[in-house]
A and B are shown apart, each in its own frame.
Chain A
Amino acid sequence: MTLEARHVLEFPGGYTRTTGPVIGRFLTELRDGRVVGVRTAAGRTLVPPLEYDPDTGDAVTGDFVEVGPVGTVESWSWVHTPRRSHPLDRPFAWALIRLDGADTSLVHAVDAGDVRAMRPGLRVRPRWRAERTGHITDIESFVPEVTKIVSPVRVEYVVKPGLALTRFLKGIGEGVFVGSRCGSCHKVYVPYRLSCPECGIAVTEEVELPDTGTVTTFAINNLPDPRAPEVPFVSAYILLDGSDVPMIALVGGVPAHEVRQGMRVRAVWIPREEWTPSMENIRWFAPTGEPDVEL
């Protein structure tokens, strides 16, 4: 049998540390919402300030200068799963940030939301805590500068279908596809229309078409659409029997990858008592099982 014990090393309340004049000045300014660096004798600005110039070991000057608060990300790593000790509880970046006016880089967290937002050169600025105590975590994290906004757009309209479409939808309300035949070129159009787009003349002859047809081409849609029953769904051009121009409609009752050009389909109507003058009367077109048509 293995003997085991839990052992915790902890300093209740934490260590008390004195800061000295250099680190103390930095933390004091941080509490006031400013970031300062210290000048070395050689004229470099160290951020965060150190007591000694890391290049020479000489004491730094007493010259403190405000830097940033905006800075540039030099390199970064991305924490996919934050640890208990980390400053943020959601995925974030650690970054070396060169604050404007500084000659060295500050290590801090960047709350960028998504790893794809991170890149060298990214401009970031501090997000300050409301209650600051003079601690490196007075900056909760850095956040990317504003470089784009999202503007919501929404306008509402009342639309009427026009005379021809009204005639067509009334037909649909009665379970009939109404088309029109051009007196000049004799082409049959469905939905019903008042003019022939080829000949440019008014059309007056109405034709009733069956609810069967053939798929001429189609698309498999993988994005949800409020008008579609499920994802993926198939939208297809269907050439109704007796017409010369295909109309667009949904295809259903068949796995999306089995839909093909030349497939014979028939409209699937919702129950008659629910009919209105609307294309919603037709749930979709479903395969009839007849042999495919050569297009």
Chain B
Amino acid sequence: MREVAVVAFAQTRHSATDEGRCDPELILPPLEEVREKTGLRTFGFTCSGSCDYLAGAPFSFVSALDALGAWPPISESHVEMDAAWALYEAWVRLQHGDVDSALVYGFGKSSPGDLREIMTLQLDPYYLAPLGLDQVSSAALQASAAGADRAELDEIVRRSRAAGRANPYALDLPDPQGDAYEVEPLRPYDIAPITDGAAAVVLAAGDLARELCENPAWITGIAHRIEPHYLGMRDLARSTSAAEAARAAGVDKGHVDVAELHAQFSHEELILRRALELPGNTAVNPSGGPLAANPVMATGLIRIGEAARRILDGAASRTLGHASSGPCLQHNLVTVMEA
């Protein structure tokens, strides 16, 4: 296995409302930032993650390439999902051995449309989408199956929002309050906020990584696993795929200082902690996590970036970045990074 590390990470100051930037305009600042941090202007491979349904336009990711400078032609790819999977593809590409650097970015604006309706479009078109089962309703089904304790959920939201207020890139959200339900048993504050934003990561292999940065965040384990799409075919109270991805990525081979989890609903953090078997003294989502800022399609990449940043800064020696995709934590990717 070739040594590959995260050597730079940047993200936008995410916003809760549309500030009038189109996708390339949103991507440009983090791209400029990682180019500046690494001194690289060109990359062996470029891969992005986004979702056309967020923009409501086909091939919207192609026009987003305007932020890159794709001439003369570059080696480029795209995943129609969270950019954490673009990072996985880039990691696989670097394993080929013929290129040493990769640029990964993800972007998404969920404010222009209705995210609950849009995410229904990801469901199977025969059994689930025609029912109009929206994202919050299915998440509430999972929360109910998991039998999550209200006080525990409130504490997760309180902790995440407080951490988010201390994070200049996340949203400024108040402590949870009110006892209204969005879809019972979920309250409005159990749900990640509508967010616009983007993020970029640079991966580099071997000596190039050592050259580009003082403390590369070496990827020592990366794996993803998926479960059946249909909710009734799974035990929603557990995440088998997150547990198997964690095992394959070797999470248990050492102490995890920081874990950044892609939990878009408070109960998902409980399910993930259990699946990943994180010890009590692991700092979970010190950035605030998705409950403090959820730029859809970049949120998972940001988890890897935030976990890497702790190593780049020298603050941690072993961290975990997690990303999820599909309804009710269907698909999970776990990245372990070490100093």
Contacts and interface: CB of A to CB of B under 8 A. Distances in A.
A83 B117 contact: yes
B232 A83 contact: no
Interface string B36-62: 000000000000000001001100000
B283 interface: no
A136 B127 contact: yes
Listed residue (B112, B117, B132) with the most chain A CB atoms within 10 angstroms of its CB: B132
Nearest to A27: B126
Contact of B130 (A19, A74, A78, A135): A135
Contact of B183 (A17, A77, A85, A106): A77
A212 interface: no
B28 interface: no
A96 B232 contact: yes
Contacts of A86: 132, 134
A213 B68 CA distance: 94
Given A94-B140, A135-B130, A107 B233 contact: no
Interface string A157-170: 00000000000000
B56 A7 contact: yes
Given A54-B228, A85-B117, A94 B127 contact: no
Contact of A87 (B57, B112, B131, B140): B131
Interface string A70-86: 00001111111001011
A146 B47 CA distance: 57
Interface in B120-176: 120, 125-128, 130-134, 137-138, 140-141, 143-145
Contact of A75 (B20, B125, B144, B228): B144
A119 to B, nearest CB: 11
Contacts of A47: 232
B168 to A, nearest CB: 25
B127 A96 contact: no
Contacts, number: 104
A77 to B, nearest CB: 3
A214 interface: no
Nearest to A52: B228
Contacts of A83: 116-117, 132, 134
Interface residues of B, number: 36
B20 A137 contact: no
B126 A50 contact: no
A78 B145 contact: no
B333 interface: no
Contacts of A135: 130
B213 interface: no
B131 A106 contact: no
A9 B56 contact: yes
Contact of A2 (B20, B120, B137): B20
Nearest to B231: A107
A108 B185 CA distance: 17
A77 B184 contact: yes
Contacts of B120: 85
Nearest to A139: B131
Nearest to B186: A77
A157 to B, nearest CB: 47
B181 A80 contact: yes
B231 A108 contact: no
Interface in A13-29: 15, 17, 19, 23, 27
Contact of B125 (A15, A79, A97, A115): A15
7 contacts: A2-B20, A77-B184, A78-B140, A78-B184, A94-B133, A105-B233, A137-B130
Nearest 3 Cβ contacts at the A-B interface: A77-B140, A105-B232, A85-B132
Given A85-B120, A85-B134, A94-B133, 10 more contacts: A2-B20, A9-B57, A75-B141, A77-B143, A78-B181, A79-B137, A79-B183, A105-B231, A136-B130, A137-B131
